[in-house]
Amino acid sequence: MKNEIIKEFRKLFHKEPEYIYFCPGRVNLIGEHIDYNGGNVMPCAITLGTYLAVSRNIDKHFHFRCLNFPEVADLHLQSSYSKTGKQWFNYPLGVINQLLNEGHGLAGLDMLYYGNLPIGAGLSSSATIEVLTAFALNEMFLLSLTRKELALISQKSENEFIGVSCGIMDQFAVAMGQSNKAILLNCDTVEFEYIPFDTKEYVLAIINSNKQRTLAESKYNERFAQCGEALKMLKQKLSIRQLCDLSVADFEINNNLINDLILEKRVLHVVSENERVKDAVKALKNGDLDFFGKLMFASHQSLKELYEVSGKELDAIVDICKSFNGCIGARMTGAGFGGCCIALVENSKLEDFKEKLMLSYTSKIGYAPEIFSSLAGDGVREIK
């Protein structure tokens, strides 16, 4: 991969890249749609991701190129930028804009991106571009920002520049990942702990439903708004700051404060998912993967029925996983509305699993899924 991107960089810019950086994608093991409600989440970085080959230039421009997309941009160095259209280069541009807004001095760059993650499949391809850009600029211009700060800058850019009300989970996971570890992140305080993610005789399979995530952004923002509305109603009587300040038991006593069935379901998902994460931590610490797997299935059920962010494709995958003897847990991962599922599958049965899943999914849905496996990997870094 590294040699290929260097070759392409030379062709495009007629010089050598000064640096190559890599940022992995992420899966969320458990704790879905609760990062923007102050909850606990448990993502890990994976081994696929996005590369950046980059060099300074003297023509005071940002030249954006990407091997995955035909669109290019050549923008003169300015003191700020705004979003143009929906093209991919808005993601690095938003981060550049955020760094400039915070008073960091930058200079022109030739930048070539290439990703081997399925794009828009819920593995955080957008967060990889953001964090990769922030990390590269931090190193090249000696900005002295910590990884945590780079994640927060990237999230701010996604919220304000791109216009998606996402939480901190994705940017944090891809910035802070460590091999063989899950990250337990408290999204309220941004405190975190690495949890050994030892899958023993199981592998972590990632299954891309290949369902296009159309409307995902607007539905995501709608869920974000519904949580805000429910919080307002609960706050009339309860002294809470965020939905995840509530336990399931507290919510059940006070659910009459919410006079809307849909909002009630949303909150029930949020508070129960937050408790599942706490149980999942115990399960991993005790080496009880079976229980961890059960929590994955329960999480999916709640996302399907209460939060309503799954869909027939993701549900089909989880149903097939449930009926496969050798899969102990599966769930959708990320925002939903299409995208990917994760599953824990017995190592020795992986090939059989792939075959069965491929056949049943294709006959149910009409097109094939993509299945690969991944280890928990390290976060953003320079590739020497």
Enzyme catalytic residues: 170
Provide the mask over 309-338, with x wherever binding to ligand GLA is found by CB under 6 A and - wherever it is not: -------------------------xx---
In whole angstroms, give the CA distance from residue 286 to residue 274: 19
Q: What is the dihedral of CA 162, 163, 165, 170, to 10 degrees?
A: -10
| Binding range to ligand GLA, per CB under 6 A, among 29-37, 54-62, 285-293, 294-302 | 29-37
263 touching ligand GLA, by CB under 6 A: no
| Binding range to ligand GLA, per CB under 6 A, among 30-38, 66-74, 246-254, 321-329 | 30-38
35 touching ligand GLA, by CB under 6 A: yes
DSSP state for residue 67 in the 8-state scheme: T
Q: Which of 36, 64, 91, 161 binds ligand GLA (CB under 6 A)?
A: 36
Question: Please, which residue, 31 or 377, has the CB nearer to ligand GLA?
Answer: 31
Buried b (16+ CB within 10 A) or exposed e, 254-280: bbebbeeeebbbbbbbbbbbbbbbebb
Q: Which of 9, 55, 113, 170 binds ligand GLA (CB under 6 A)?
A: 170
| Minimum CB distance to ligand GLA, residue 14 (Å) | 37
276 touching ligand GLA, by CB under 6 A: no
In whole angstroms, give the CA distance from residue 20 to residue 5: 9
Determine the residue type at 139. E
| Minimum CB distance to ligand GLA, residue 35 (Å) | 5
Dump the DSSP string for 244-280.
Answer: GGS-HHHHHHHGGG---HHHHHHHHHHHHHHHHHHHH
166 touching ligand GLA, by CB under 6 A: yes
Tell which residue, 212, 23, 30, has the closest CA to residue 120.
212
Question: Order of strands, edge to edge, in the sheet holding 327-333?
Answer: 327-333, 340-346, 202-208, 370-374
| Minimum CB distance to ligand GLA, residue 247 (Å) | 20
Provide the mask over 84-123, with x wherever binding to ligand GLA is found by CB under 6 A and - wherever it is not: ----------------------------------------
The helix/strand/coil state of 146 is coil
169 touching ligand GLA, by CB under 6 A: yes
The helix/strand/coil state of 92 is helix
Residues near ligand GLA (CB under 6 A) are 28, 32-33, 35-36, 166-167, 169-170, 334-335
